[in-house]
Amino acid sequence: MKPIGHGERVRVYPTAAEVAQQGAELLLGLARTRPGASVALSGGATPLLMYDLLRKATRGDAEALRRLVYFFGDERAVTANHPDSNVRLARKGFLDPLGVPEENIIAPNGAAQDLEFEAARLTDELREKCTEKEGPVPVLDLVFLGMGADGHTASLFPGTPAVESRVAGYVANDVPQLSTQRLTLTFPVLDAARSIVLLVTGEGKASVLGEIFSHAGRTPAYPVESLPPDRTTWLLDKQAAAAIPNPPSN
């Protein structure tokens, strides 16, 4: 794993709302220029702010967003109408209000009785919908991710089996620290993505970010550090970036 340093793409904004605005603009830029492109969505509070903005898209932009194919980076083991469901957040946030066709929403079923079977189904869908491949690995055009206070991204938690998985798709990951199992994309798929955007906001993330960016020569300790640095853009608010030495300004 290559440590993250100041040479990576890092952008710091005053507020979480401005981080969400930048994320929305990146997605709209893809929708306008790449009809039918593939996107993986994230859960959490900052994407919810981004979804609020996308829901208010102009008629032309809304039509462009309807042409994209939407996947999800991960999903909790909950029903699709549960408040904690990443699918529910995206559907209510902008996918359903904009009328995105059902065939363009590849939604994980977190309430499936057999999450390993569901992961295999999602992997088949991913391989079918993503026509571009790097060898056997489907290539997503744009992946939105967050980062937890423990340095996890998607549902790739420290010390869990999925962190080391070489499955080119989705897996059901046992997360003992949360006493649950979750569906998640694997690092082979994230490594192959054309572009990754990390939306990270709030003071609760500052300590880990400070550690990640302060010591370029250290051995990477967090799952998020395994993302490909040349294709990963970090969008941070000032609170999250507070412990980063000499953070870049925008």
Write out pLDDT tens, residues 121-150.
Answer: 999 999 999 989 999 999 999 999 999 999
* Domain 9-237, second-level architecture: 3-Layer(aba) Sandwich (3.40)
Q: What is the pLDDT of residue 182?
A: 98
Q: How many residues does this entry show for the chain?
A: 250
Instruction: List, for residues 184-196, the tens digit of each pLDDT value.
Output: 999 999 999 999 9
Mean pLDDT calculated for residue range 195-223: 89
Mean pLDDT of 192-207: 96
Predicted local distance difference test score (pLDDT) of residue 4: 40
Tell me the chain's radius of gyration from C-alpha atoms: 17
DSSP the chain: -PPP-TTSEEEEESSHHHHHHHHHHHHHHHHHH-TT-EEEE--SHHHHHHHHHHHT--HHHHHHHHTSEEEESEE-SS-TTSTT-HHHHHIIIIITTTT--GGGB----TT-S-HHHHHHHHHHHHHHH---EETTEE--SEEEE---TTS-BTTB-TT-GGGG---SSEEEEEEGGGTEEEEEE-HHHHHH-S-EEEEE-SGGGHHHHHHHHH-TTSPP-SGGGGS-GGGEEEEEETTTTTTSSS----
Q: Which residue has the tokens 């079977």?
A: 117
Domains in the chain: boundaries: 9-237
Q: What is the pLDDT of residue 164?
A: 97
Quick check: 250 pLDDT over 80?
A: no
> Per-residue confidence at 8, pLDDT binned at 50, 70, 90?
low
Q: Which are the contacts of 137, defined by CB distance < 8 A and separation ≥ 6?
A: 168, 188, 189, 191, 192
Q: What is the pLDDT of residue 88?
A: 97
Residue 81, pLDDT score: 93
User: Residue 240 pLDDT > 60, yes or no?
Assistant: yes
pLDDT confidence band for 249 (50 / 70 / 90): low
pTM of structure: 0.94
Strand partners, 235: 11, 199
